[in-house]
């Protein structure tokens, strides 16, 4: 089929095939694994970028008229993605950060608490939807940064997972903890090994989600390399100590 450039697709640089299989699109939209990125791309392709200004009622009616019944969790992901694309509340208001994090990562609405795994997933996907050129540590409000630090500490980590560092959240909170073990090299190295294994688990979870997004977008007719998209984001940002190889090693 002929491939065309869809210039109105702000979230990702994509080519799409004409006349996508609507039955397949509907099936993906109904699946529990449907990502916020995927449903946003489908929505914008079908109705244009201007449709992100529509009321929730109109969005729901239009999507279900086109693709059939769609679960609430998919709409939660879509509205969270639209918020990321059109506002800065994900980075500036703690309550919105928690709500959007849960909606993007799980499709649920929870305004009270988010865990570190969901924060990692949401930040990675939010930067696919609308890349932030500056390190997030320079963009996020102090309240949100404090919240993420608390999640890291409560998860038993002294440093963030590598994927958070990749996006500019180098929130080192463990200098005092590590120094307390410095007099016993054997225990120190054992502690560091356990800590790194815990950190790597979060990176593996994010890598799995990014691979799922890659597959979904391909099935939906979008020609997008998610890994290259992340590397493109990295190249646009200010230099940081972490290299591209570090990200690839951590996530792939």
How distant is the alpha carbon of residue 176 from its chain centre?
31
What domain range is 85 assigned to?
Answer: 3-251
pLDDT of 232 reads: 59
**DSSP-derived 3-state class of residue 117:** helix
Question: pLDDT over 70 for what percent of the chain?
Answer: 71
Coil, strand or helix at 1? coil
Across the beta sheet with 15-17, the strand order is 3-5, 15-17, 222-223
Enumerate the β-bridge partners of residue 86: none
Tokens (6 digits) for 58: 């109109």
Most confident of 69-78, 211-220, 235-244: 69-78
Element (H, E) at 16: strand 15-17
pLDDT in tens, 175-185: 555 555 566 66
On the question of pLDDT at 252 being above 50, the answer is no
Which of the given ranges, 165-179, 182-196, 225-239, has the highest pLDDT on average? 165-179
* More confident call, 140 vs 181: 140
Is the pLDDT at 241 greater than 60? The verdict is no
Phi then psi dihedrals of residue 222, to 5 deg: -95, 130
Among candidates 26, 30, 110, 114, which has minimal Cα distance to 72?
Answer: 30
Q: Is 5 helix (H, G, I), strand (E, B) or coil?
A: strand
Indicate the pLDDT class of residue 3, thresholds 50, 70 and 90: very low
pLDDT digits (tens, 9 = 90+) for 23-48: 999 999 999 999 999 999 999 989 98
Quickly state the pLDDT bin for 132 (edges 50, 70, 90): confident
d(CA 156, CA 237): 29
Model confidence at 190: pLDDT above 80: no
Cα(235)–Cα(2) distance, rounded to whole angstroms? 31
CA distance 222 to 45: 10
The reported pLDDT for the residue numbered 6 is 30
- Number of domain units in the chain: 1
DSSP lists the bridge partners of residue 221 as none
Predicted TM-score (pTM) of the model is 0.80
pLDDT over 90 at 141, yes or no: yes
């Amino acid at each position: 089929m002929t491939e065309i450039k869809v210039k109105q697709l702000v979230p990702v640089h994509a080519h799409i095939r004409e006349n996508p299989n609507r039955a397949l699109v509907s099936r993906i939209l109904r699946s529990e694994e449907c990502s916020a990125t995927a449903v946003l791309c489908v929505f914008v392709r079908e109705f244009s970028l201007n449709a992100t200004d529509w009321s929730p009622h109109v969005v729901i009616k239009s999507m279900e008229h086109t693709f059939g019944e769609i679960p609430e969790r998919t709409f939660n992901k879509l509205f969270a993605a639209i918020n990321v694309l059109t506002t800065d509340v994900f980075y500036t208001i703690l309550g919105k950060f928690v709500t959007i994090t849960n909606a993007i990562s799980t499709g649920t609405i929870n305004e009270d608490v988010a865990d570190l795994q969901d924060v990692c997933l949401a930040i990675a996907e939010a930067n696919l939807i609308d890349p932030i050129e500056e390190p997030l540590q320079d963009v996020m409000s102090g309240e949100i940064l404090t919240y993420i630090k608390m999640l890291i500490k409560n998860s038993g980590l002294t440093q963030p997972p590598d994927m958070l560092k990749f996006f500019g959240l180098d929130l080192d909170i463990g200098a005092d903890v590590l120094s307390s073990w410095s007099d016993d090299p054997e225990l120190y190295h054992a502690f560091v090994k356990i800590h790194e294994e815990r950190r790597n688990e979060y990176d593996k979870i994010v890598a799995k989600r990014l691979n799922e997004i890659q597959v979904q977008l391909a099935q939906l007719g979008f020609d997008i390399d998610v890994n290259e998209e992340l590397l493109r984001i990295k190249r646009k940002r200010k230099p940081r100590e972490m290299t591209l190889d570090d990200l690839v090693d951590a996530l792939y």
